[in-house]
């Protein structure tokens, strides 16, 4: 729910920024809609890694999680970044 709320806020800000930058409103609205579609398709990386039959994809996703853990171990605030992934080719 929070991700959807954040996505809506992002889309609204993009729309406002686009309108003030001289872009056509329909173009900016379409960008917002496409962004929302992308965000709504995102799934937890752990789930995708567990379900995929592609070993190369699984290795890449597990690397992302390992990098997050390394950053956390170094005392960095990893927040909610790189927890989900969306298929942009399908």
Position 90 scores a pLDDT of 64
Higher pLDDT: 24 or 37? It is: 37
Interatomic CA distance for residues 11 and 60, integer angstroms: 29
Whether 87 shows a pLDDT value over 90: the answer reads no
Interatomic CA distance for residues 59 and 32, integer angstroms: 31
CA distances from 71 to 61, 76, 78, 85 (A): 16, 5, 7, 19
State the pLDDT confidence band at 20, using cuts at 50, 70 and 90.
low
For the segment 43-60, the average pLDDT, to the nearest whole number, is: 96
């Amino acid at each position: 729910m929070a991700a959807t709320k954040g996505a809506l806020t992002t889309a609204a800000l993009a729309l406002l920024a686009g309108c003030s930058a001289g872009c056509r409103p329909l173009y900016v609205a379409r960008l917002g809609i496409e962004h929302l579609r992308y965000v709504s398709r995102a799934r937890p990386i752990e789930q995708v890694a567990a379900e995929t039959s592609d070993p190369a994809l699984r290795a890449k996703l597990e690397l992302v999680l390992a990098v997050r853990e390394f950053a956390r171990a170094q005392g960095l605030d990893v927040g909610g970044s790189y927890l989900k992934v969306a298929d942009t080719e399908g």
